[in-house]
A and B are shown apart, each in its own frame.
Chain A
Amino acid sequence: MSSSTREQCDVAIIGGGPSGLAAATELKRLGVDSVVVLERECEAGGIPRHCGHSPFGLREFRRILSGPSYAGKLSTAAKSQGVDVRLNTTVVSIGESGQLELSTVDGLNYINARKVILSTGIRETTRAARLVSGQRPMGVMTTGALQSLVYLEHKKPFKNPVIIGSELVSFSALLSCRHSGIRPIAIIEQNPRITAHLGLKLLARLLGVPIYCRSRLQEIMGRRTVSGVKIETASGKTNVLECDGVVFTGKFIAESSLMRKSHLQFDQATGNPVVDQFGRCSDADYFATGNMTHPVETAGFCWSHGIETAQQVYAALAGKLDKFNRRSVIYPNNSLIKYAVPQVLAIADNGHIQVENRSDSQSIQIRVNKPVKGRLSLKSGLETLAEKSINVLPERRVELELRTLSDKRLPETLYLDIEEAD
């Protein structure tokens, strides 16, 4: 099909989770004519569709909802604003000038969009990517897979699994287990303390599930089905725990497969798309939003982020978001930093950063790899442009506000550093 006969739209949004739906709804509200959400599942709503538990929706609907009813509400809101939500539609490749290749039940299709928003979310790091020893028995999965089995199909893949990891999502896995009569036998955490809020230890205790910190999964035992796991304890001893399943939780990474084979720049190490402070990708017709830009956030955060991104896209459509020829690249200069977003700052010809009128919400978001206490700073050579003292755990948001940079001339390279306090 030649591109002239292809279907055209103003904005195509890839992924109909909270961030994509929020962006679509906002764009329609602002008066954009044709807004299309392309969603590969048979229903929109993203991850919350199969998070049968609460809390969702406080920010958006000022009510506590379960995942599925939250997903339903977001999707209804989008449709009633006139968003064209296309289900069972997988975007298989993205190209320059907003050309998208789709697979639907009818085979290949194409659409051309003036602007594209990537909101494809995240997934958890699998057993394979963690390089875990053992054979390949059934009953080894991620929380995502467990939840879709439990909540969408009402099935349970095991009875007494171990849960690997102690992020927020690990406790979500715990709740999903309880929902379906699965009794996890332990939560295994490598670090000295759980990654999620300490309060959640109480939840585990209430449910009678012990948490083993400073413990490392050594091997999955069993050939056809899981028969146990070997755990290395703090003292270097190996314990065998009998169980019939293993749930790998968290260690989220961006669902960036589309990007990895496209013309867009992305961060090799994290898989996150390279964006500027407006959420724009290296091709200015593309924007990214939601969890994929900063794994992992709550649904409410992603929803707000979707709305902000929609406003930038709206400005871009109206020609109000300047194309900047100059950029400052932010390099994390310390292995404590897991990632920093945005990775580049678009700067005006006079060397000053352009910030929006809603500048108070704009910041550089940083995640750390291990608990850190110290000073975070943004530097250009020897000069410190911004700094702040931090005391954070992994998977917690750290923000460095951009507003403080507005009176500075920015060079092409900036470095982020952390000086640990002793």
Chain B
Amino acid sequence: MARQFAIEGASVLAVEKGPDILNGASKGNSAILHTGFDAPAGSIEHSCIVEGYQEYLNIRDKLGLPLLTTGALVTAWTEDEESKLEGILEKALVNGVHDAELLSARSIRKREPELSPRLRAGISIPREYVIDPWTAPFSYMLQALENGAELQCNCEVLSGKFDGSLWTVKTTQGIRKAKVVINCGGLYGDLLDEKLIGQKAFSIRPRKGQFVVYDKSASQLIGSIVLPVPNEITKGVVVCRTAFGNLLVGPTAEEQDSRDDASVLDATLRSLCRQGESIVPALAGQPITATFAGIRPATEFKDYCIRTYKEKHYISVGGIRSTGLSAALGIAKYVFDDYQVFDQKHFPSTPCIWPTVQQIAEHTTRDWQTEGNEGIVCHCELVTQREIKQALTGKLAAGSLAGLKRRTRATMGRCQGFYCSARLSELTKGFFELPIASDISQKGSGNE
């Protein structure tokens, strides 16, 4: 959103309550660039996915965004699932995914020999791809900043008032004024609506998804995104490669009350491993690199809840549930169109600036391959000292250790910091509110 509006010439202020962006629902996802083949036909979600998908491909060269052209397979493992394939194919065709194709188990296993022989049949969705969940949103925000937007982190919106021409918004960092307010509050979208306009058109129903990430060696087992036949509630457990060269299995779909408890549960993780192994038997014995969970801002509706309040100069962009990474650029365009009712005149900044962020996807040229990288700090993910220093400075500098990890992948690899914690702690000294460790000499402090 910030990017779209900044490029169009609006003066944009993005406020984020966390110490860094990507602090909410966007923290953990499967990173699939969806075609929208199975989205509800005629929904806002579907049109935003289609638009977002296309826009991603249009701008990805200019922003240097990664893409793994994996293709996806919707796989049927039971008779019941097999009987649903026909319907899924029809829906895909209605949704404009014309290259979707019904395949026999034999031809699928020719392509993916590691899939379990239990496979009955499937549908190929050739243009369903994998992207990098961090670089894309970081690039959008960086481009917004380069084109004049402002970002304020550690800045929570508390309340606000609209006096007919101007908004006065109270935040933890003081009062901010704006002509129009757009609520992209993710998991807190409904609460924010209540705080700002005293009403809400939806309620967030947090839906957690847990994942197991396997070692890089596992990514050789499978080329395509392996999707199950979805049911009413969820797209189901996916097996797919990541842009970082790993293989992930997940997510689950668990309704919960908490909007920020992204805890994993050992029993669930074990069951994910079993599900993974039942789809790709060779996963048994592959080492596990990481486990994590993300929370979807689902609502009572089966669509996004994007709503313009004309007389309040307010747009609520709520319920961006499980496809927001793919749809982001489309949502921004959609909202910018709606925003025209406010009759604000903007003139696109010329020329538009196209910055590029650090490449951290596995198949791109990485810093360790180039001169002057100052040596490798994180050995598992091959993150260099220069990369870490760069991530800590500049317009979109990391605001927390988690933010640094998302920018560089440091400590996200198989050893999870066995080797590099110490140097990372030294390099990040003084940068974060919550440091990795304190100096030993500070003995007197705390509960000692």
- The interface of chain A, by Cβ under 8 A from chain B, is 40, 42, 50, 88, 90, 92, 103-108, 123-124, 126-129, 131-136, 138, 141-142, 144-145, 148-150, 152-160, 180-181, 183, 218-219, 223-225, 253, 255, 257, 260-261, 268-269, 271
Contacts and interface: CB of A to CB of B under 8 A. Distances in A.
Given A90-B376, A135-B262, A159 B447 contact: yes
Interface in B421-448: 421-423, 425-426, 434, 436-441, 443, 446-448
B215 A260 contact: yes
A366 to B, nearest CB: 19
Instruction: Identify the interface centre among B421, B425, B437: most chain A CB within 10 Å of its CB.
Output: B437
B371 A107 contact: yes
A38 to B, nearest CB: 12
B193 to A, nearest CB: 25
Interface in B255-289: 260-266, 269-270, 273, 285-289
B417 interface: yes
Interface in B317-373: 368-373
A149 B446 contact: no
Contacts of A153: 422-423, 425-426, 437
Contact of A141 (B374, B380, B417): B417
A126 B368 contact: no
A253 B440 CA distance: 30
Contacts of B117: none
Chain B, interface size category, equals 35 or more
B287 A129 contact: yes
B440 A155 contact: yes
A341 B205 CA distance: 53
Nearest to B443: A181
A257 to B, nearest CB: 7
B407 interface: no
B380 A105 contact: no
B288 A181 contact: no
B434 A225 contact: yes
A148 B421 contact: yes
Contacts of B437: 149, 153, 155-158
A271 B436 CA distance: 30
A223 B368 CA distance: 33
A141 B421 contact: yes
* 4 A-B pairs closest in CB distance: A148-B422, A155-B437, A157-B437, A145-B421
B422 A50 contact: yes
Interface string B12-56: 000000000000000000000000000000000000000000000
B446 A103 contact: no
B416 A144 contact: no
B352 to A, nearest CB: 32
Contacts of B417: 141-142, 145
Given A129-B287, A144-B418, A149-B437, A90 B379 contact: yes
Nearest to B441: A154
Contacts of B371: 105-107
A105 B401 contact: no
A108 B371 CA distance: 8
B266 A133 contact: yes
Interface in B277-314: 285-292
B418 A108 contact: no
A92 B382 contact: yes
A129 B292 CA distance: 12
Contacts of B269: 131
Contact of A40 (B264, B290, B379, B440): B379
A181 B425 CA distance: 18
B291 A128 contact: yes
A408 B273 CA distance: 43
Contacts of B419: 123, 144-145, 148
Contacts of A123: 414-415, 418-419
A154 B440 CA distance: 6
Given A128-B291, A149-B421, A135 B439 contact: no
Given A128-B290, A159-B448, A103 B217 contact: no
Contacts of B443: 181
B3 interface: no
A104 B369 CA distance: 8
A129 to B, nearest CB: 5
Contacts of A180: 440
Interface string B81-103: 00000000000000000000000
Contact of A257 (B260, B368, B380, B416): B380
B375 interface: yes
A156 B439 CA distance: 6
B207 interface: no
Nearest to A124: B418
Contact of A103 (B260, B263, B369, B436): B369
Contact of B217 (A105, A106, A261): A261
B216 interface: yes
A133 B289 contact: no
A404 to B, nearest CB: 32
A135 B263 contact: yes
Listed residue (B269, B372, B440) with the most chain A CB atoms within 10 angstroms of its CB: B440
Given A134-B264, A154-B440, 4 more contacts: A131-B269, A142-B415, A142-B416, A153-B426
B210 to A, nearest CB: 10
12 contacts: A92-B368, A129-B287, A131-B291, A132-B266, A134-B263, A134-B264, A142-B416, A152-B422, A153-B426, A223-B261, A257-B215, A268-B285
A106 B373 CA distance: 7
Contacts of A105: 371-375
A127 B288 contact: no
Interface string B401-415: 100000000000011
A103 B376 contact: yes
Interface-central residue, B266, B372, B422, by most chain A CB under 10 Å:
B422
Contact of B263 (A133, A142, A157): A133
A190 to B, nearest CB: 13
B422 A107 contact: no
Given A92-B368, A155-B425, A145 B418 contact: yes
A142 B414 CA distance: 12
A259 B183 CA distance: 49
A372 to B, nearest CB: 23
A224 B261 CA distance: 11
Contacts of B425: 149, 153, 155, 157
- Which one of B261, B436, B447 has the greatest number of beta carbons of chain A within 10 Å? B436
Contacts of B261: 135, 223
A128 B289 contact: yes
A141 B436 CA distance: 11
A391 to B, nearest CB: 29
Given A133-B265, A134-B263, A155 B369 contact: no
A145 B422 contact: yes
